[in-house]
Structure 1
Amino acid sequence: MNSEIKIKEEAIYWIACEKEGFDKNQKIEFENWIREELHQKIYNRMKFVHQMAKSLSKENKENLSDNVHFEIRKERFSKKIRYFSSAAAVLFVLCFSAFKIYDNNFKVQFSQSLMTDKRSLKEKLPDGSTIFVDAKTALDIEFFNGKREVTLKEGRVMFEVAKDKNRVFIIKSNDINIEVVGTKFEVIHKKDNTTINVEEGIVKTYFTKYFFDKQNEKLLTKENSITYLNEQGNITNQENINPNKIALWRENKIVLDKTTLKEALEEFSKYSDINISFLSKELETYYITGEFSSTQLDIFLKTITKIYPIKVDKKADEISISKKF
């Protein structure tokens, strides 16, 4: 049996167990099973199928259920179904029925991976959406019949999403999800957190470890900004911002607002080949506020020596920051 099909069957089995209520041994077995990344990915997908099954028309349910009943009578399923209530058994039928629709409506229509180095780029997508991708950014784009999805692995992207009421546009940054139909907003993916800044329209954000387990769900509008921790999904900041200050990197600007020297120099390093070293941890935490062009590294270095008692040594692509005595 194809391994992915086997995992799909196992996922449906666990969804039915979850609906019925795990016993102690099942809970332990499930937690061990879902630790594998592929298992979790397929489990989440099948959860989506289950949700879609609940919205099937009565006619679709009857027609597809008739076709699939024969399959679930096979020995490997009938043994498992015996242990569940009729409601859970119906779940099996609906999941398999919906999966047929899922395969038809969620096949990949368009797929693209983007990775930038020192330059940002502007990309027009097949649906009419436009994305602005900052330097040192990586993302995957997939369009289906039923949805449009972007996985932001690192970096910053400004989205101008074309309206399509039949296909939601979803951005995933770790377990942080952003859903829109048509709007303009920026997503910033850092190692520990994700920030969403809305320039125009309405954006729904939430944290989800498992499909449909939405936590800290928020509805954002113009000028709203929110930051989530990537691992826990906690909201660490929510505020109103100036929409004219969103994604100024599109204009080759670096905007610093009480930013540490370490973070500021990391910003400059995205646009040039430089290696930075701090000879004191304390220096990394000094704050600076200001606006610079991404090409004004030398001006920035000169500025910080006037603000703080520090020394900057620059040799070729190596920059060393130390205390001035």
Structure 2
Amino acid sequence: MSRPDLSAVDGGNTVEQQATAWFVRLRADDASERDRQAWQQWLHADPGHRTAYGRVEALWSSLGEFAAAPELAVRMPRPRMASRAPRRRRWLAAAAAATVLACATGMAFLLLAPRAVESAYRTDIGERRSLQLEDGTRVDLDADTRVQVRYDPHQRLVRLEGGRAFFRVARDSARPFLVQTSAGSVRALGTRFEVSRLGDAADVTLYEGSVELRGGADAARPATRLGMLVPGQRARIAGQRMQVTDAAVAAGSAPGWLSGRLVFNDTPLPEAVAEFGRYSFKPVLLADPGLASYRVSGVFRGEDVEGFIQALGEVYGIPEHHTADGAHVLGKTP
């Protein structure tokens, strides 16, 4: 039988060794179509198989001219083979050629161990961006947003340093998905939710699945579990507490800002003004402190700050003037 006996592979990282056995087998001169079909079945049986095999191929490529040096011996898992000597010699020749996994001490699998991957992404004022992370998770960044992403073998971590993001999380039961802010964090396995930074607070809106919310952690205290959300709920995290309200979002829907719409539902005027600040280089300023008590409802285009200000004038009679640099000032100046 030419297929590697994967049950005979023991010690170390079993999946990595299985990937190695397949890598060697497929490069033997007697590799058959049956071998390739069996390899495909193994590859698709678990996402970790494809990841492990990809690391083997990547390491082979990285060694370049040293990849075929027979004097670099490697301890390979031996499959149980038929007793015919020519086939066994051909397989061993392929194994010798697979020195991609060798290192000076013979501890080749140390080179194949998963490592942490870190990335940073940002958008400018007026810019939106959609990302697909290595596990298939999709992240949409609103304008003026900054995130740091760190994936390691134990968890998937996104730190939202500013702005707003919408997450469609790929399932991975072995690695929880965490979104951290200075106010607290969100833990999910597979779900759709939005997180917004609002100064010292954070807003979390759940569209699908479930999430666990925790308060902020620091050197003096660990993160405090605050509670769970169900679809259609929004929570504000601040000061180690969360306040839950109905978000009035339909199942399977997505935030309006993904299509450039800003949706306000009894939103405090300062928060609505901050939303437009993501899309306009000319800020909107509230000159009258009394305007902080005003609340806004409606749907606006993110880039149409003039239309928003006009609506405020029509509904509330709020006056507007401009500064020398073009900033919009709402309310009477003192």
TM over 0.5: yes
The change in CA–CA distance for 1:183 and 1:270 in structure 2 (over 3 A counts) is same
> Corresponding residue for 1:29?
none
> Corresponding residue for 2:132?
124
The change in CA–CA distance for 1:223 and 1:310 in structure 2 (over 3 A counts) is closer
Q: 1:222 aligns with which of 223, 227, 231?
A: 231
Aligned residues: 218
Alpha-carbon distance in structure 1 between the residues aligned to 2:262 and 2:291: 20
Largest Rg, 1 or 2 = 2
Alpha-carbon distance in structure 1 between the residues aligned to 2:154 and 2:287: 53
> Corresponding residue for 2:272?
264
- 1:299 counterpart SS class: helix
> Corresponding residue for 2:326?
317
The change in CA–CA distance for 1:312 and 1:303 in structure 2 (over 3 A counts) is same
Alpha-carbon distance in structure 2 between the residues aligned to 1:138 and 1:221: 27
The change in CA–CA distance for 1:178 and 1:106 in structure 2 (over 3 A counts) is farther
> Corresponding residue for 1:165?
173
**TM-score, normalised relative to structure 1:** 0.61
Does the 8 A contact of 1:106 with 1:146 survive in 2? no
Q: How far apart are 1:167 and its partner, in Å?
A: 1.2
Alpha-carbon distance in structure 2 between the residues aligned to 1:236 and 1:307: 29
What are the equivalent positions in structure 2 for 1:88-127 lying under 5 Å apart? 107-108=115-116, 110-118=117-125, 119-127=127-135
- 2:331 counterpart SS class: strand
> Corresponding residue for 1:59?
none
Q: How far apart are 1:208 and its partner, in Å?
A: 4.6
Does the 8 A contact of 2:232 with 2:247 survive in 1? yes
Alpha-carbon distance in structure 1 between the residues aligned to 2:196 and 2:331: 30
> Corresponding residue for 1:295?
303
CA RMSD of the aligned region, Å? 2.5
Alpha-carbon distance in structure 1 between the residues aligned to 2:317 and 2:232: 37
Does the 8 A contact of 2:280 with 2:305 survive in 1? no
Does the 8 A contact of 2:183 with 2:237 survive in 1? no
> Corresponding residue for 2:19?
none
Alpha-carbon distance in structure 1 between the residues aligned to 2:321 and 2:296: 19
Q: How far apart are 1:301 and its partner, in Å?
A: 1.4
Alpha-carbon distance in structure 1 between the residues aligned to 2:247 and 2:274: 25
Q: 1:196 aligns with which of 187, 190, 204?
A: 204
Tell me the amino acid that sits aligned with residue 235 of structure 1.
M
Alpha-carbon distance in structure 2 between the residues aligned to 1:105 and 1:204: 30
Which range is displaced more, 237-246 or 128-137? 237-246
Does the 8 A contact of 1:157 with 1:188 survive in 2? yes
The change in CA–CA distance for 1:303 and 1:222 in structure 2 (over 3 A counts) is same
Q: How far apart are 1:240 and its partner, in Å?
A: 5.3
% identity of equivalent residues: 22
Alpha-carbon distance in structure 2 between the residues aligned to 1:121 and 1:287: 29
Alpha-carbon distance in structure 1 between the residues aligned to 2:304 and 2:218: 44
Alpha-carbon distance in structure 1 between the residues aligned to 2:259 and 2:309: 21
The question of 1:144 aligning with 2:152 is answered yes
What are the equivalent positions in structure 2 for 1:226-245 lying under 5 Å apart? 226-229=235-238, 232-239=239-246, 241-243=248-250
Tell me the amino acid that sits aligned with residue 288 of structure 1.
V
Deviations 1:65-100 (A, max 9, x none): xxxxxxxxxxxxxxxxxxxxxxxxxxxxxxxxxxxx
Alpha-carbon distance in structure 1 between the residues aligned to 2:222 and 2:287: 45
> Corresponding residue for 1:53?
none
Q: How far apart are 1:128 and its partner, in Å?
A: 0.6
Alpha-carbon distance in structure 2 between the residues aligned to 1:274 and 1:169: 36
Tell me the amino acid that sits aligned with residue 261 of structure 2.
K
Q: How far apart are 1:262 and its partner, in Å?
A: 2.7
**TM-score, normalised relative to structure 2:** 0.60
> Corresponding residue for 1:206?
214
- 2:319 counterpart SS class: strand
Structure 2: where are the runs of 5+ without partners? 1-111
Alpha-carbon distance in structure 2 between the residues aligned to 1:301 and 1:240: 25
> Corresponding residue for 1:78?
none
Deviations 1:299-319 (A, max 9, x none): 111111111222222466321
Alpha-carbon distance in structure 1 between the residues aligned to 2:137 and 2:183: 23
The change in CA–CA distance for 1:277 and 1:183 in structure 2 (over 3 A counts) is closer
Which range is displaced more, 255-264 or 163-172? 255-264
The question of 1:282 aligning with 2:282 is answered no
Q: How far apart are 1:246 and its partner, in Å?
A: 4.9
Does the 8 A contact of 2:205 with 2:247 survive in 1? no
Deviations 1:259-287 (A, max 9, x none): 23332222112111113333321134322
